[in-house]
Amino acid sequence: MSEDVENKVALVTGSTSGIGLAIARRLARGGYKVVVNGLESEADAGAALTEVGAEAGVPPVYLHADLADGEASHGLAQEVIARLGRLDIVVNNAGIQKVAPVDELPPADWSRIVAVSLDSTFHIIRAALPGMKARGWGRIVNIASAHGMRASPFKSAYVATKHAVVGLTRTVALETAEAGITCNAICPGYVWTPLVAAQVADQARVHGMSEEEVVRKVMLAPQPTRRFVQPEEVAEMTFYLTGELARSITGAALSIDGGWTAK
């Protein structure tokens, strides 16, 4: 491992569970100093922190922040810089879901979905960029979704937010292209995580299906591979994007969706 890698600090938002936890583990194994973030207290995040620490050989820094709050999002990036002196790699992963017809979606749920995924991505990028520009190096990976490229019914806020994350990614990439910084979006299909497990019952209700049918006909039907993407697959792609050999990949929306968006 090069000393350069060891000195780099990576923030992964929403990394106490699912895809974010897999990414935090992979970046820790790759030698970066990883900051884990989530909604939970540090005690409740203990199991995740142990997993990330086991990869790194040292416990990771944990910073609680509710990314539905713009000031807290900006403050999270600032606190990383204050505590660790720099912020080289940002993975904007935190996200939430709500399954409901658009005319039944409570406005508060719309606003929270947009705030957690899109607004926090803007606030954190905004706080991280000055330091990245000053050092002439930075990596930003935004976890969007196949729903950043395709729509599905009953997910209006999520689909709108993920499309917007892809647009933000492209814009930041153009603005930073000559500064040694890359900004990319990863667009996974269905990955079996607590976020997906929690929506099976709601999907069954709005589609009028059993939960088993939801998994087969709603979740796996759009993915030609007919299997869930594994969190580790998304983590490996993220790790690759942080490396030197990925310096020419910027402004991309990279699919990892079992062929969903090939159709």
CB 8 within 8 A of CB 2: no
Q: How far is the CB of 221 from ligand NAD (least distance, A)?
A: 14
Residue that has been written with the tokens 């970066």 in this structure:
32
Q: Give the tokens for residue 251.
A: 């402004």
With a CB cutoff of 8 Å and minimum separation 6, the contacts of 236 are 26
Closer CB to ligand NAD, residue 19 or residue 160? 19
Site for ligand NAD in 6-65 (CB under 6 A): 14-20, 38-40, 65
Q: How far is the CB of 194 from ligand NAD (least distance, A)?
A: 4
Of 185, 183, 215, nearest to 199 (Cα)? 215
In the 8-state DSSP scheme, what is residue 148? G
CB 55 within 8 A of CB 32: no
Site string for ligand NAD, 57-76 (x = CB under 6 A): --------xxxx--------
Q: How far is the CB of 92 from ligand NAD (least distance, A)?
A: 8
Residue 258 is a binding residue for ligand NAD (CB under 6 A): no
- 25-33, 126-134, 172-180, 194-202 -> range binding ligand NAD (CB under 6 A): 194-202
* H or E segment and range at residue 141: strand 138-143
Q: Is 158 a catalytic residue?
A: yes
* Dihedral sign, Cα of residue 147, residue 94, residue 259, residue 213: negative
Task: Please list the active-site residues.
Answer: 158
Q: Residues in the site for ligand NAD, rule: CB under 6 A? A: 14-20, 38-40, 65-68, 93-96, 116-117, 143, 145, 188, 190-191, 193-196
